[in-house]
Structure 1
Amino acid sequence: MNWLVNAWYQPDRQLRWLMPLRLLYQQVIRHKRQRFLSGAEPAWQAPVPVIVVGNITVGGTGKTPLVTAMIEQLKGWGCTPGIISRGYGGKSSYYPLAVTPDSDPSVAGDEPVMLAQLTGVPVMVAPQRVAAAKGLLNQFPETDIIVADDGLQHYPLGRDIELVVIDGARGLGNGYCLPQGPLREPPGRLKTVDFVVVNGDAPLVAITEPQQLMALVPECLVQVSSGEKRPLTRGSLDDFKQVHGVAGIGNPARFFATCESLGMQVIPHPKDDHAQLTAKDVQFDDQLPVLMTSKDAVKCRSFATAKHWSLLVAAKLPESFWRQLKEKVKQAQSKKVNQ
């Protein structure tokens, strides 16, 4: 399927033979959304505000670092947040499932485990977001605001604030919906959300909606086996002049470029998003350090050696964005009190 994904992100590749399937897909998702907008199939409304951080493209765009940064902001505003997720890649025997920093990512999913480690707040997963939200509120009744990691298209879950994250390097690809292109919903969906966040250093010219620019800033290196942190200073990076780079994310090239920006020569080993890594995937016939994403690191803790490290990044957004989001949160809180 890699050839198809590559074709999606080439504007001159129209893939017209997939147009009938694309038109059928658009009709289905349009009908599905309209049923909830019209009230024919009411969405479940949580007793606390719900913020959905999602995307309209297939694959990772940088949602999880944004969720992490948002949780820290919410705590600073006096909120008691919790996180819900589908738990993609996990295979639990029951749901909803409470996720802890020590949960098995093959059971709970890699991103939920990483979020539990990075944020320290309750994380609940379930294939149905409503079940995850209800489970979160039942087990952690002190939760006064829910952040959904992904779930923009999961309309049974009512939401108060919607954010869409777009990979600035890839944009909207060829602009078509699945399977002719990478879009889960047509570009017009961006007009209906509260914030469009672009993970990159420049606005996307193909999008006319107001955009908030987000940068993923490297913070430190973390040894996977011990948790030891190493600063990104010149002396500390002397052992990382050449590394094996392992990335099982939506756009591995972005991770490799980030490593190279730190002065590293990267031998790239891209993996599929959410790939279940084994020891063989991160062992190479030399003594070079192996550098991976935080999401991949949670899957390698049980077999990582001293040469396995992850690069911790943080989402940075303008203060104007956080002020606008804080005002939206206040409005949502007031609305819930008055319901």
Structure 2
Amino acid sequence: MREPAFWYRPRSLESYALWPLGALYGAIAERRMLREGVDAGIPVICVGNYHVGGAGKTPTVLALTRLLRELGETPVVISRGYGGSLKGPVMVDRMRHTASDVGDEPLMMARDVPVSVARDRLDGAVLAKSQGATVILMDDGFQNPRLLKDASLIVIDSERGLGNGKMFPAGPLRAPLQAQLARTDALVLIGGGHAADDVAAELAGRDTPVLRARLKPDAASVAQLLGKRVFAFAGIGDPERFFRSLRACGIEIARTRPFADHHMFSDDEIAALAAEAQREQLTLVTTEKDLARLRGREGVPGGIVPFAVQLEFDDPAALRQLISDQLYKARERRFSTR
């Protein structure tokens, strides 16, 4: 879906008109979050956000994958496979599946880590354990009570924050903020903005760790685009953030085309993008997540450059200590209840 512009305005008639619906939605969501989840039997680390839309969960999951492997763990990601048709449980196979089968994010992540897709997260966890997982990384699902979470890391884009702070559909929040803060084990602020400083300060006041991180562009991607005029398109939560990242690297953007998050490109749209780029002698560039949705499609022009990024934490030692402590506590809890 494309986010309504009024979600990121401080005051609007639309948000006030939708406030009663938001209050009802929030009350239901808060009550649902109180349910007790099923214990998967191994540590479960959830990477989520407070609001609808993208914030950087996928790069965070991949960063945690690298860290967990350094710690000697075998992580497996579980996902509901948003945008895919398969209900699962199924392990993502990049040679066999497309984004229309399992969703764009699982298909992209499966290049680096095993991914279990299932509509029911408990089924996904059972399959992950059968693959030898010692730790489950839950991609999204912070508000979903189905599976017991040992630690929840919340990701916020520091440039956008939480918008107007109202509940869906009056705003982007998935549940009342205080109820979500109470269940947060760590906050990850991505970027150098200040839109979420108030949330960070409140969590810090509760002795909840606040970690800062930045998306670092892949040097090879940048080198491939420098000196060229590009046509950038993206169907992610915040396409403008992608366009800003390109400009910050000194890449000349001649045209941009934003699409809704998880947008499934039609053949006509692909053809139109290619024709416009060819007519103006531009290089097509998009995100890795968007390119995942184009994989295996007939008629997709060659030469579309994926702009790869990697999440880097300002204090990697603090992240390492946080994850090590959470794993220890998770295993200690299970051992003490035997």
TM over 0.5: yes
Letter in 2 for 1:269: R
* 2:115 matches 1:123: yes
The superposition leaves residues 243-302 of structure 1 with CA deviations (integer Å, 9 ceiling, x where unpaired) of 111111100000000011111222111111111124533423323111110101112233
After TM superposition, list the pairs within 5 Å mapping 1:1-339 onto structure 2. 2=2, 5-13=4-12, 15-34=15-34, 36=35, 42-92=36-86, 94-102=87-95, 103-117=97-111, 119=112, 121-138=113-130, 140=131, 142-188=132-178, 189-203=180-194, 204-207=196-199, 208-210=202-204, 211-220=210-219, 230=220, 232-233=222-223, 236-240=224-228, 242-266=229-253, 267-279=255-267, 280-281=269-270, 282-285=273-276, 286=278, 287-302=281-296, 303-317=299-313, 318-319=315-316, 320-339=318-337
SS at match of 1:182: coil
Query: 1:239 Cα deviation (Å)?
Result: 4.4
The superposition leaves residues 167-197 of structure 1 with CA deviations (integer Å, 9 ceiling, x where unpaired) of 1121111111111111001221123211111
Query: 1:304 Cα deviation (Å)?
Result: 3.9
The superposition leaves residues 92-125 of structure 1 with CA deviations (integer Å, 9 ceiling, x where unpaired) of 2x511210233211101100010001x2x32111
The superposition leaves residues 196-233 of structure 1 with CA deviations (integer Å, 9 ceiling, x where unpaired) of 1111114523312233112111014xxxxxxxxx3534
Letter in 2 for 1:245: A
Letter in 2 for 1:171: G
Q: List gaps (5 residues or longer) in structure 1.
A: 37-41, 221-229
CA distance in 1, matches of 2:294, 2:146: 34
Runs of at least 4 residues off by over 4 Å: none
TM-score by length of 1: 0.88
CA distance in 1, matches of 2:123, 2:157: 29
The superposition leaves residues 110-162 of structure 1 with CA deviations (integer Å, 9 ceiling, x where unpaired) of 00010001x2x321111121111112223x1x211100000101101111000
Letter in 1 for 2:94: P
Percent identity reads 33
Contact 2:189 2:212 in 1 (8 A): yes
Letter in 2 for 1:301: R
Query: 1:31 Cα deviation (Å)?
Result: 1.9
SS at match of 2:136: strand
CA RMSD of aligned residues (A): 1.8
SS at match of 2:51: coil
Change (3 A) 1:274 1:322: same
